[in-house]
Amino acid sequence: MGSVALQSLAEARRAVVDPDRVFAMIDHIVDTTPGRTGTLVPGGEAFLTATREACAAAGIRVFDIGDGEQGIVHVAGPELGLALPGATIVCPDSHTCTQGALGALAWGIGASEAEHALATGTLRMTRAGTMRITIDGRLGHGVTAKDLALALLARFGADGGQGMAVEYAGEAVRAMEVEARLTLCNMATEFGAMTGLIAPDAVLFAWLRGRPHAPAGAAWEAALATWRELATDDGATFDIEHCFDARDVAPMIGWGTSPAQSVAVGDRAPADNAYMAVEGGAPLLGLPIDAAFIGSCTNGRLSDLRAAADVLRGRQVAPGVRAWVVPGSTSVRAAAEAEGLDRVFTDAGFEWRESGCSMCFHAGGPGLPPGSRVVSSTNRNFEGRQGVGVRTHIASPATVAASAVAGVLADPR
């Protein structure tokens, strides 16, 4: 969507106020087949060309095909240290809230708001409401941040955080590695929230240190001193407070056409969904699948690939199931290859792809036929999201991998 904003800005003869603070990632429609040169989406080349030309004219850094730092913006931004605690970050993509996991105020906007941000360095905002979700206890074995995000959606609804800035707090969050925190905050937009965020702590600071665009030396020490002040004060009040127990969360699976329509994988569908061809009262375990997808800004990080590979090692994708894994960034792909995960996936029968948004959504070009049933580590199961008539069951990477091997929806534990 950046191409639309930049083109519109140029047509209005308005300049980008500070191009040094603007970055462009080629992620949404980029081809992910090895040896790629562009996009397979019909008409998509015009978007890539428009982005490149507008960025060149405005002096904006583009992370393009062939760049070792290219990736899905919400995966690559944090891992490059472009996203930092205390920063305000906007991007014309709803999953920008992912980056709140670093203690940034990060939120998705439309193209007009992106134009405004580029032209003025500001946005006109109405202050968001405040919500804190305190998650006590620890997630059980085989239960991930993705399952927690789906469980929160199932409990509080797809508009449960509408317009709110949601802080995720509590023992379960403090115990999470940064990549899991990014997954949790990623789905704040599915909750209707303006953003999700997590207080910066020592776990985060250790993760950020030495990242390519993070401050270094004396600047690191100065930044760290300010970042330590960012956590919510004791006694702070919120407009809405919720508590949730991590010990109650099981691996989750989507059964409907809203991310809030998710249940524990061993449960039955609570209602009919005609689009999904799911009957109320029927078990979800054992539903035959046609395809399995691992990737996206929700679950395309190294820890996600490791969790899936742990399930797949020495096993095979069931006959007739098409399976892909699309690393969330070029550097995730390289790191995975360095530890041999690509071989685990390809030996099991998965396609090993280049990084991009890929099958998280379908904009045309090669895809799945109508009626296909897909288990997917993505964030949205809307009608048509992965193609006309395609049925999407959202789940964690481990659940996707276990289902790919079983040929049916399966429990990863």
Q: Measure Cα distances from 157 to 144, 172, 177, 193, 244 in Å.
A: 19, 21, 26, 11, 14
Shortest gap between Cβ of 136 and another protein (angstroms)? 28
Shortest gap between Cβ of 314 and another protein (angstroms)? 37
Q: Measure Cα distances from 360 to 109, 269, 299, 379 in Å.
A: 19, 23, 11, 8
Please say which residue, 18 or 279, places its beta carbon nearer to another protein. Answer: 18
Please say which residue, 137 or 384, places its beta carbon nearer to another protein. Answer: 384
List the end-to-end C-alpha distance of the chain, in Å, as a whole number: 39
183 and 288 Cβ atoms separated by less than 8 Å:
no
Please say which residue, 120 or 232, places its beta carbon nearer to another protein. Answer: 120
Instruction: Write the DSSP string, 315-376.
Output: --PPTT-EEEE--SBHHHHHHHHHTTHHHHHHHHT-EE--SS-GGGS--SSS-PPTT-EEEE
Please say which residue, 4 or 374, places its beta carbon nearer to another protein. Answer: 4
Please say which residue, 224 or 231, places its beta carbon nearer to another protein. Answer: 224
Shortest gap between Cβ of 379 and another protein (angstroms)? 9
Please say which residue, 19 or 407, places its beta carbon nearer to another protein. Answer: 19
135 and 143 Cβ atoms separated by less than 8 Å:
no
Shortest gap between Cβ of 358 and another protein (angstroms)? 12
Please say which residue, 300 or 387, places its beta carbon nearer to another protein. Answer: 387
Tokens 């006109």 label which residue?
124
Residues 6+ apart with CB under 8 A from 141: 413
Instruction: Report the distance separating Cα 262 and Cα 135, nearest Å.
Output: 19
Shortest gap between Cβ of 93 and another protein (angstroms)? 6
Please say which residue, 194 or 409, places its beta carbon nearer to another protein. Answer: 194
- Structure tokens belonging to residue 176: 């999470």
Instruction: Report the distance separating Cα 410 and Cα 253, nearest Å.
Output: 9
Shortest gap between Cβ of 292 and another protein (angstroms)? 21
Q: Which helix (H) or strand (E) holds 108?
A: strand 105-108
Please say which residue, 157 or 270, places its beta carbon nearer to another protein. Answer: 157
Collapsing DSSP states into helix, strand and coil, what is residue 186? helix
Closest CA to 8 of 119, 124, 125, 142: 119
Shortest gap between Cβ of 410 and another protein (angstroms)? 27
Binding site for another protein (CB under 8 A): 1, 3-4, 7-8, 12, 14, 18, 20-21, 41-44, 46-47, 50, 84, 86-87, 92-94, 108-113, 115-116, 119-122, 124, 126, 128, 157-159, 162-163, 189-190, 192-194, 214-215, 219-220, 222-223, 226, 258, 260, 361-364, 370, 380, 382-385, 388-389
- Structure tokens belonging to residue 75: 């995966």
Instruction: Report the distance separating Cα 154 and Cα 255, nearest Å.
Output: 11
Shortest gap between Cβ of 115 and another protein (angstroms)? 7
Shortest gap between Cβ of 130 and another protein (angstroms)? 14
- Structure tokens belonging to residue 109: 């906007």
Shortest gap between Cβ of 319 and another protein (angstroms)? 28
Shortest gap between Cβ of 42 and another protein (angstroms)? 6
Please say which residue, 129 or 137, places its beta carbon nearer to another protein. Answer: 129
Beta-sheet pairing, 262-264 with 252-254: antiparallel
What are 136's strand-pairing partners?
245
Please say which residue, 18 or 272, places its beta carbon nearer to another protein. Answer: 18
Tokens 């904009």 label which residue?
363
